[in-house]
Structure 1
Amino acid sequence: MSETATRGPSKFVPNSTRFAAQPDGRSARRRKEGWTRRLPLLPALIYMIVLTQLPFLATLYYSVRSWNLLTGRNTFAGLDNYAAAFTDPTYRTAVLNTVLITSATVLLSMLLGVGLALLINERFIGRGLVRTLLITPFLIMPTAAALLWKYTMLDPDQGMVNVLLRTVGIQPVAWLQEYPLTSIVVSGAWQWTPFMMLIVLAGLQSMPHDVTEAAAVDGAGRLAVFRHLTVPHLKPFVQLGVLLGAINVVSTFDGIFMMTQGGPGTATTNLPYYLYQQAFQSFEIGRAAALGVVTVIGTIIVAQAALRLLSGLLAGPEVRS
């Protein structure tokens, strides 16, 4: 009798059935390893939720309440606070000032940053010291920088700007009273120019030298190389700097509070400062909360655009390769 007949008919087990249990085991093991890696991060996640999401939920709750700390009134208001915010002429002025301050500060700081980055990208004696000195304004606290500009630079009597104007026969100017918005923009651009300079300088140093050398060999001048090679290469870096700068400048409060107090009148009142006035001067908590929600939504929109651009920059080299 053959061996096959002794053992009986063999049972055929398909491969799909034979190995069906293995993927389930591997997926379970992977899920377990994933939780093992994520578990140490759980306290940090809870901490962030407590510090950010719970206060935001409380802000949403207060934004539909009519709550005044002086009178003690605390009633349900629905969307009245949002309607009052959008129909308030001071709010519209604050929105316009926010747009003007943000756009002018970011544009001026980017132009100065590009110029300085092009200069310090060249080799010269003391380049390291010059770079360090140019970065210094970005390291100063915003409150200290605002006081520096208010008293040391723009003071009507002893400010350095007016001292220089007197030397050329020009009468002193009360900058914070006559040109408040310009003063805020100049002081903000002074502090944000190093940030823009560093981003553009990183773009310049990542530019391949063989391309520029080949263009120079073919007879292209410095202006042509800058226009046709450097500018296209720096475009994503400039866009990233503009978006990141706008996210930070749109929430400017320190300089306005220390230099102009939102004045004269409402000439320099932006959204963060107007929110402060509603909450801590008028004690209208509900309206201030509604303003905060609107400001957060606007900031999130800008932040999402910045994150998408940053993701595109990170994915760009992989696509090109």
Structure 2
Amino acid sequence: MSTLVERQQVRARKAATERQGGGMSSAEGWRRRLPLLPALIFTLIVTQVPFLFTIWYSLQNWNLLRPEGNQFVGLGNYVDIFSDSTFRGAALNSVLFTLACVFFAMLLGIIFALLLDRSFAGRGVVRTLLITPFLIMPVASSLLWSISILNPSYGLLNWVIGLVGIPPVDWTSQHPIVSILMALVWQWTPFMMLLVLSGLQAQSKDVLEAAQVDGAGWWRTFISVTLPQLRRYIELGILLGAIYVVNTFDQIYLMTAGGPGTASANLPFYIYQRAFLGFDIGQAAAMGVVVVIATIIVATLALRLIFKSFDVKD
């Protein structure tokens, strides 16, 4: 009987000690988080408060040309934009720009990263030159492509195709989507290349040597060893690239102005047109809310996939 009582007392003291330890760790955690609280509050103010105002505006029939007609319409703006064929076309262009740009930029990034992972004379100079497009401001790169490369009269691309007898092409008018994609891929390829190159340099050389000893060729080694190693880096590049490319505005505004008509307009550019050219604040806010929600959903799903890949043991 006394032994049982002693055991119960030991368990009670152990439980009390664990509770005290948990309380101390919790207090320690809050003490460490406290210096970050002002930054968190500031971030919430500058990001979430404007978004809440945007949601409120999206529920209003507010046009700056008719301020007397401002009234609460609920979800009416959302019904109107989803029945708008121009909005659906801009949404389709946004998806097209994002998928095509991320795919081709990642493909070229992998190729350039594999080349730069080898030792050769002048590798540092070549690496710097390949990184340069990502360091150029989007406005400057858009003007460079529209004036110096794609101009129908004196553009570099028309001069090159003219050498083989192809007549000049007005790229931004006849092929606006292709023109914008060329500029976007040119700008984002260095970013993808850097991510993939960091993954290549992080892989174990012992594994590559073991694959060579087993008689695996270059292609077999790349598919079975290198590509699985690069999976996390490729997924991260696709996620970040998609989030940024879906918000593309500079290239469309400066190269095609959304034209011809609205053939090359994406959602950010169409929102700009409705807000600052059509002065329809309510519908522009509703479009903005839809874009934000769609981006959050895609980013959340992509992040879950990335975190699952990190949880898998190599």
Q: Deviations over 1:185-228 (max 9, x none)?
A: 11000000011111111222222222222232333322222233
Which letter does structure 1 place at the counterpart of 2:253? Answer: F
Task: Name the counterpart of 2:32.
Answer: 37
Task: Name the counterpart of 1:309.
Answer: 305
Match of 1:52 among 26, 29, 47: 47
Task: Name the counterpart of 2:214.
Answer: 218
Counterparts of 1:103-142 in structure 2, within 5 Å, are 103-142=99-138
Determine the C-alpha separation between the residues in 2 that align with 1:33 and 1:39. Answer: 10
**1:51 Cα deviation (Å)?**
0.5
Is residue 55 of structure 2 the alignment partner of residue 69 of structure 1? no
Determine the C-alpha separation between the residues in 1 that align with 2:30 and 2:215. Answer: 60
Counterparts of 1:168-183 in structure 2, within 5 Å, are 168-183=164-179
**1:311 Cα deviation (Å)?**
2.2
Task: Name the counterpart of 1:249.
Answer: 245
Is residue 294 of structure 2 the alignment partner of residue 298 of structure 1? yes
Identity of matched residues, %: 53
User: CA distance change for structure 1 residues 115 and 18 in 2, over 3 Å: closer, same or farther?
Assistant: closer
Determine the C-alpha separation between the residues in 1 that align with 2:101 and 2:26. Answer: 48
Match of 1:274 among 270, 273, 288: 270
Per the alignment, in what secondary structure is the counterpart of residue 108 of structure 1? Answer: helix
Task: Name the counterpart of 2:283.
Answer: 287
Which letter does structure 2 place at the counterpart of 1:74? Answer: N
Determine the C-alpha separation between the residues in 2 that align with 1:102 and 1:135. Answer: 21
Determine the C-alpha separation between the residues in 2 that align with 1:269 and 1:28. Answer: 56
Task: Name the counterpart of 1:3.
Answer: none
Say which is worse superposed, 19-28 or 299-308, in terms of deviation.
Answer: 19-28
Determine the C-alpha separation between the residues in 1 that align with 2:180 and 2:64. Answer: 32
**1:19 Cα deviation (Å)?**
5.6
Structure 1: 5+ residue stretches without partners: 1-10
User: CA distance change for structure 1 residues 26 and 257 in 2, over 3 Å: closer, same or farther?
Assistant: same
Q: Deviations over 1:4-33 (max 9, x none)?
A: xxxxxxx97923444665444434433332
User: CA distance change for structure 1 residues 116 and 19 in 2, over 3 Å: closer, same or farther?
Assistant: closer
Task: Name the counterpart of 2:236.
Answer: 240
Is residue 93 of structure 2 the alignment partner of residue 97 of structure 1? yes
Structure 2 length-normalised TM: 0.92
Q: Deviations over 1:31-68 (max 9, x none)?
A: 33222222211111111111011111111111111001
Per the alignment, in what secondary structure is the counterpart of residue 65 of structure 1? Answer: coil
Determine the C-alpha separation between the residues in 1 that align with 2:253 and 2:85. Answer: 21
Task: Name the counterpart of 1:191.
Answer: 187
Is residue 258 of structure 2 the alignment partner of residue 258 of structure 1? no
Determine the C-alpha separation between the residues in 1 that align with 2:235 and 2:251. Answer: 25
| CA RMSD in angstroms, aligned pairs only | 1.9
Task: Name the counterpart of 1:8.
Answer: none
CA contact 1:240–1:309 (8 Å) conserved in 2: no
Q: Deviations over 1:141-163 (max 9, x none)?
A: 11111111111111111211122
User: CA distance change for structure 1 residues 303 and 15 in 2, over 3 Å: closer, same or farther?
Assistant: same
Determine the C-alpha separation between the residues in 2 that align with 1:20 and 1:216. Answer: 57
CA contact 2:142–2:183 (8 Å) conserved in 1: yes
Per the alignment, in what secondary structure is the counterpart of residue 216 of structure 1? Answer: helix
Determine the C-alpha separation between the residues in 2 that align with 1:259 and 1:202. Answer: 33
Count of aligned pairs: 308
CA contact 2:232–2:310 (8 Å) conserved in 1: no
Say which is worse superposed, 196-205 or 57-66, in terms of deviation.
Answer: 196-205
Determine the C-alpha separation between the residues in 2 that align with 1:306 and 1:262. Answer: 29
Which letter does structure 2 place at the counterpart of 1:185? Answer: L
CA contact 1:147–1:258 (8 Å) conserved in 2: yes
User: CA distance change for structure 1 residues 68 and 122 in 2, over 3 Å: closer, same or farther?
Assistant: same
Structure 1 length-normalised TM: 0.90
**1:314 Cα deviation (Å)?**
3.7
**1:71 Cα deviation (Å)?**
1.0
Determine the C-alpha separation between the residues in 2 that align with 1:21 and 1:200. Answer: 51
Say which is worse superposed, 217-226 or 107-116, in terms of deviation.
Answer: 217-226
Structure 2: 5+ residue stretches without partners: none
